[in-house]
Structure 1
Amino acid sequence: MIHRYATFIKAINLTIDYIILNISMVIAYLIVDKSFIMWINNKNYLPIVLVFNLIWLLSANISGLYESVLNKDSINTYRSVFKTYLIFVGLICVTIIIIIGTKAYFITREYLFCSIALFGFLLGIWKLIFLTIRRGDRRVLMDKRNVIIVGGGRVGEDLYNYFKHNPDRGYNMVGFFDDDPARVSDVDLFLGKTDACVDYVISNKVHEIFCALPSTEAQSIERLMLEADKNMIRFKLVPEYYSYSNRPTLVQSFGHIPVISLRPEPLESVLNRCIKRAFDIVFSLFILVFIFSWLFPILAIIIKLQSRGPVFFKQVRSGRENENFKCYKFRSMKVNQDSDKKQATRGDSRITAIGAFMRRTNIDELPQFFNVLIGNMSVVGPRPHMVSHTEQYSKEIEKYMVRHFLKPGITGWAQVNGFRGETKNTEAMSNRVEADVWYLENWSFLLDLKIIFLTFWNTAKGDKNAF
């Protein structure tokens, strides 16, 4: 099947891209510094190598460069490469030239330009070679496998439609076997009764059997399993309980007992939680020490001068496991009685001049890094809502409470995808909840880095929903 090769091809692409990146850096070092051996022992050079490699990995994750490597056409492949390269160059410039500084590691701007330009040139040539090879061998990589489905009910029909609409999975559906021909919607696909299934598979070079019989047919299922094993035929069960959910599910084994979870939750892993928490602490300390420390007194004076009231705005919001906590912000509004019930709207008269600036640039959220250090928030996660909104939308949106499996975040997947700010109706909130649940099911450390980058990017270019 194509997806068996996709991971391998993805790994090959990633590996060769990294080889090209590092060769480009070495060649640039030899050209600019005219040193043919010393680069190996240069301790100031090695951290730059690490920075380049990590930034390329982050850039590729942001752009999705290595997704669907076998399916993207040539134009989309080069578009992804170009997009990734631009992000890479941008991050290199920001990280090394602005934040770290070239003098810190005794490298020159000429070296940076030479290595980046050489990498782009070699990367373009490699992708051309890859596309040429793929064009000739894609059919081989597809590895089409003939399969049959035992059971022509709704489950079998759904599986057939999946094969039909997803040819890239590499399955060639030959037909159905069922004791009741009427259950097969397409008469031309009916191959016989279940007793004749294994003989047909052996005679016609069928590679796999997908059994979609109901659990009431346990004896028939067990007999087919045994016969398939005896004849070295791959046998796969399609459980009925998939119908309880129309989303990807997670099946775990408790001994010999299969247990299905409604959704995967990467942050249920202790290791993943530790990684996320460690990053939260380090990132929050960095922001509080290097940004908040000098910005706070300036903003405090301006906030006080523009309106009466405290510098900080404290509001009880819904947190993880729906436990309430005090969320901190710089006060961006005049003190009013509706702050715990009414959302900010475009042109809201309650917002002060400095408040409008802080809200557009997300500066008003900076005190929430104290919430992150305390442990009731994370840098990335679903935005915490007012308690009144939790009570309202939990009754109107089915998945609303699922987002509370996670710690709320300062920024999140919903926010970088345009679902921030005022939620005028239930549909707007439903879109936000859907994005939050997707984040819950697909969390990774690189995804968090991607969201943080997109948050800064959206702030720099301006977000129409920020007011």
Structure 2
Amino acid sequence: MIYRYATFIKAINLSIDYTILNISMVIAYLIVDKSYIFWASNKNYLPVVLVFNLIWLLAANITGLYEQVLNKDSIRTYQSVFKTYLLFVCLICFTIIIIIGTKAYFITREYLFYSLALFGFLVGIWKLIFLAIRRSDRNLLIDARNIIIVGAGRIGNDLFQYFKNNRDKGYNVLGFFDDKPDNIIDKKLYLGTTDNCIDYVITNQVDEIFCALPFTDSHKIEQLMLDADKHLIRFKIIPEYYINSKKSMFIQNFDHIPVIAVRPEPLESILNRMVKRLFDFLFSCFVIVFILSWLCPIMAILIKLQSRGPVFFVQLRSGRDNLPFKCYKFRSMRINNEANKMQATRNDVRITKIGAFMRRTNIDELPQFVNVLLGEMSVVGPRPHMISHTEEYSKLIDQFMVRHFMKPGITGWAQVKGLRGETKTTEAMMNRVEADVWYLENWSFLLDMKIIVITIWNTLRGESNAF
């Protein structure tokens, strides 16, 4: 169903959850603190408040807690709350205790226990209250609409089938108006000619008109639009040309000229690119200074002990706009003539013992943070492929080159969805490309954070396709 207040209810849920979180922290502060300094005046306390709030937002985004708040049943609602709370606690403990340190802001284990326990209890009670309110007033929120379709050609029939197969969208199709009755297979759905449309709409309480007439009938479309405006009826036009029902498209207006864009690209915005680049720069600097600085000498010794050859494996790969760049990795294989043509396979004899460990734990990819620092890669994005694979799959998969609209990444949406490792079939590569294109069309900074957290978690627990 369509809900009138879905966005409003989502905002209310988020606001009350945050209010409960901060009240829990204040109460825990009053219980534990012995200095009796007013909490808002305590400079050591305020950074912790910020950390708690940001981590709850990250955890909720990862689990999708605030998605479909009116559609989830009670069990699914509490499952989402429990998963979000558990992830929140884990991230808090990791951030406060390991990264920030408890002494830096005088946060004790006692404070963490009281604040997290109180928050879990109160948010559980609030969700119970919310479910009770939702159950009693759900019918008031439902927004089912009666609609008619003008034009029973291919577009009109496709639209009818969509509404028929997706009744949860809340649209009730009363029938068709068309000057050619033969276009309508089910005669029960024929309501009359286009001239009778407005009279029917007025007398039968129709909420919206969907116009699927061809552009050759532009004079009819314009007249219907004017009549609908006069009688306060919403009028929507279906473009005569579209690709398919699964394709994400949006309309831009160049003055009075509508232009259909094939796909949204959030990273076309210079602000979004600046945000992503700033994060890439800071994150890569952190990894290079605090991890690679001491890890490189250790890995160099281990790699040299296992086999002869260089420490780093440097390979030309396809970058943004299909421009080649030198991609850096710790060498995990013995020197061989097939490195630039053949992917690593399970139980590959070319892989050394230390190489197998590096590949399972993704340590071999860490030198690519140098590529990120240089601006050739991003922390998150489609994985870069060998030049030979780009040439091969671009001929087999129509959308393969679309993934090169953005910088390649160390990890990506395809990788956290399990679409990593060897691609034995074209279908496997198609699934990876589909995930990469989805990421291109749906990028957000929070999505990048989600992918990074899932990547770290998958690395810690191990992945079956990591070899």
TM-score, normalised via structure 2 length: 0.98
Q: Distance in 2 between matches of 1:88 and 1:244?
A: 40
Q: Deviations over 1:226-252 (max 9, x none)?
A: 111111211110111124664121111
The answer to whether residue 456 in structure 2 is matched with residue 460 in structure 1 is no
Q: Tell me, which stretches of 5 or more residues in structure 1 are unaligned?
A: none
- 1:79 maps to 79
Deviations 1:350-401 (A, max 9, x none): 1111111111111111110000011110000000000000000000111100
Tell me, in whole angstroms, the C-alpha distance in 2 between the residues paired with 1:34 and 1:165. Answer: 62
Q: Would you say the 8 A contact 2:3–2:143 is kept in 1?
A: no
Q: What do the CA deviations read for 1:147-201 (whole angstroms, capped 9, x no partner)?
A: 1111112211222222223333222222211111221232222111111111111
Q: Does 1:39 align with 2:39?
A: yes
**2:42 aligned counterpart, secondary structure:** coil
* Farther off after superposition, 79-88 or 128-137: 128-137
Counterparts of residues 233-252 of structure 1 (less than 5 Å): 233-243=233-243, 246-252=246-252
* Closer, same or farther: CA 380–370 of 1 in aligned 2, 3 Å: same
**Alpha-carbon distance in structure 1 between the residues aligned to 2:72 and 2:27:** 31
Taking a change above 3 Å as real, the CA distance of residues 142 and 34 of structure 1, as seen in their structure-2 partners, is farther
Q: Deviations over 1:392-429 (max 9, x none)?
A: 00001111000000100000011111111111111111
1:51 aligned partner? 51
Q: Deviations over 1:254-312 (max 9, x none)?
A: 11111111111110110000000000000000011111101111111111111111111
Aligned to 1:92: 92
| C-alpha separation in 2, matches of 1:53 and 1:399 | 39
Residue 390 of structure 2 is aligned to residue 390 of structure 1:
yes
Distance 1:36 1:225 in 2: 67
Q: How does 1:308-327 map to 2 (within 5 A)?
A: 308-327=308-327
Structure-2 separation of matches of 1:3 and 1:344: 50
Q: Distance in 1 between matches of 2:185 and 2:262?
A: 30
**SS of equivalent residue, structure 1 residue 464:** coil
Which runs of 5 or more residues in structure 2 are unaligned?
none
Shift, 1:36, TM fit:
6.4
Task: Note the 1:297-316 alignment, pairs <5 A.
Answer: 297-316=297-316
When structure 1 is superposed on structure 2, of 142-151 and 447-456 the one drifting more is: 142-151
1:115 and 2:127 correspond:
no
Q: Residue deviations 1:421-444, cap 9 Å, x none?
A: 111111111111111011001100
**Residue 34 of structure 1, CA deviation:** 5.5
Residue equivalent to 1:187: 187
Contact 2:198 2:227 in 1 (8 A): yes
Alignment match, 1:203:
203
**382-391 vs 216-225, which deviates more?**
216-225
Residue identity opposite 2:136 in structure 1: G
Kept after mapping to 2: 8 A contact 1:245/1:262 = no
- Contact 1:207–1:234 (CA<8 Å) still a contact in 2? yes
**AA of the residue aligned to 1:222:** E
Q: Residue 444 in 1 paired to residue 444 in 2?
A: yes
- Give the equivalent residue in structure 2 for 1:295: 295
Q: Per-residue deviation at 1:3?
A: 5.2
- 1:313 is paired with a residue whose SS is strand
Aligned residue number for residue 126 of structure 2 = 126
| Count of equivalent residues | 467
Aligned counterpart, 2:232:
232
Q: Given residue 226 of structure 2, which amino acid in structure 1 is its aligned partner?
A: L
**2:229 partner amino acid:** D
2:264 matched to 1:264?
A: yes
Identify the residue that residue 8 of structure 2 maps to in structure 1. Answer: 8
What is the SS of the residue equivalent to 1:102?
A: coil
State the alpha-carbon separation in 2 of the partners of residues 37 and 260 from structure 1: 59
- Identity over aligned pairs, percent: 74
* 4+ runs deviating over 3 angstroms: 34-37, 243-246
Alpha-carbon deviation of 1:101?
1.1
Amino acid paired to 2:197: C
Moved more, 150-159 or 312-321: 150-159
Contact 1:29–1:35 (8 Å) recurs in 2:
no
Distance 1:102 1:17, change over 3 A: same
- CA shift for structure 1 position 37: 6.0
Q: Is the 8 A contact 2:332 2:352 kept in 1?
A: yes
Residue 161 of structure 1: aligned partner: 161
**Amino acid aligned to 1:298:** I
SS at match of 1:240: coil
- Residues in 2 aligned to 1:364 and 1:331: alpha-carbon distance in whole angstroms: 7
1:77 Cα shift? Answer: 1.0
Aligned to 2:420: 420
The reply on whether 1:28 has 2:49 as its aligned counterpart is: no
AA aligned to 2:448 is D
1:82 Cα offset (Å) = 0.7
Q: What amino acid is the match of 1:179?
A: D
RMSD: 1.3
